[in-house]
Amino acid sequence: MRVDLNNFFKYYDDKNPKHRAAVDDFERLLIEKCPELLEDYANWIKIYRTSEASDIINIPWYPQTDNYRLPDSTCNSSACAMCLEYLKPGSLPAGPKGDDAYLRKVLALGASTDHTIQTIVLESYGVKSNFYYNLGFDDLDRELAAGRPIVIGFLHRGSASSPTGGHMICVIGKNASGDYWVRDPYGSFYDGYSGPVSNGRQVVYSRKILENRWTVKHPKDGWGRIFQ
């Protein structure tokens, strides 16, 4: 008789050494037979982690820090690649380094920081988009409500009163408190980008942070890419 895992693990007890040993043995078998199922990008893991966050658009997460070139300055390409693979699944190779294929196309034309080049490369995959310098929170909310992620410019260095830097992140949702879920390809703003890059896989940046670091001088001066 085949075991129903939903029912089986309902009775899991972390204090029971037999239960822990059984899970350890199951993990060992997965490592031997299907190691990709334990990778961070495995679909069941992504579903499990976001099962209670219905307000999140579940795009892939590509860290820029493992990019084959310029890992400290290719946030724009990694962010655009996340949205591309969500909007047109299968465009990039499977796995956490799928954005390398996208980045190669970008660098063949010019710099990753060039928004026009990003537009051209995205369109080469069949995804149309435009980059704007006059976005506000109403634009974010409209796109999220339509089920589309947004790539935005984020001043990730300096103080709140005098932000500096230049970084691109993906906004993927809004919570009940009015703050925003993001995929940050460089890690987390909260630890000053000094912790594991995985801290940026799914993190909430408060509206106040975005007001200070996205719409810096005016409610409608946010930089960002909107997908058609």
| Residue 23: pLDDT band with limits 50, 70, 90 | confident
pLDDT tens sequence across 136-149? 999 999 999 999 99
56 DSSP assignment? B
pLDDT of residue 75: 98
Same domain? For 12 and 89 the reply is: no
Angstrom distances, CA of residue 76 to CA of 104, 115, 178: 13, 8, 25
For 77, the domain range is: 64-227
| Residue 45: pLDDT band with limits 50, 70, 90 | low
Same domain? For 103 and 24 the reply is: no
7-18 mean pLDDT:
81
Same domain? For 80 and 125 the reply is: yes
Q: Characterize the bridge pairing of strands 203-205 and 222-227.
A: unpaired
- Please check whether residue 44 lies inside any domain of the structure: no
Same domain? For 109 and 11 the reply is: no
- Cβ neighbourhood burial of 130 (10 Å; 0-12, 13-18, 19+): exposed
Same domain? For 94 and 202 the reply is: yes
CATH number, domain with residue 220: 3.90.70.10
186-214 mean pLDDT:
95
Same domain? For 172 and 222 the reply is: yes
Rounded distance, CA 216 to CA 165, Å? Answer: 12
- Please check whether residue 95 lies inside any domain of the structure: yes
Of 58, 57, 34, 36, the C-alpha closest to 46 is 58
Same domain? For 112 and 32 the reply is: no
| Residue 50: pLDDT band with limits 50, 70, 90 | low
Rounded distance, CA 217 to CA 228, Å? Answer: 27
Is the distance from CB of 167 to CB of 74 less than 8 angstroms? no
Same domain? For 103 and 26 the reply is: no
**Pair of tokens at residue 199:** 């801290």
pLDDT tens sequence across 79-134? 999 999 999 999 999 998 999 999 999 999 999 999 999 999 999 999 999 999 99
- Please check whether residue 54 lies inside any domain of the structure: no
- Please check whether residue 45 lies inside any domain of the structure: no
Same domain? For 21 and 75 the reply is: no
Rounded to two decimals, the pTM is 0.77
Same domain? For 121 and 73 the reply is: yes
- Please check whether residue 10 lies inside any domain of the structure: yes
Same domain? For 30 and 111 the reply is: no
| Residue 225: pLDDT band with limits 50, 70, 90 | very high
Domain count, the chain: 2
For 21, other C-beta atoms within 10 Å of its C-beta total 10
Helix/strand/coil (H/E/C) assignment for every residue in 15-52: CCHHHHHHHHHHHHHHHHHCHHHHCCCCHHHHHHHCCC
E strands, the chain, in order: 129-135, 150-154, 157-158, 163-164, 167-174, 180-183, 203-205, 222-227
Statement: residue 206 has pLDDT above 70:
yes
21-36 mean pLDDT:
87
User: In DSSP terms, which residues pair with 56 in a beta bridge?
Assistant: 173
Same domain? For 102 and 33 the reply is: no
pLDDT tens sequence across 152-185? 999 999 998 999 999 999 999 999 889 999 999 9
| Residue 14: pLDDT band with limits 50, 70, 90 | confident
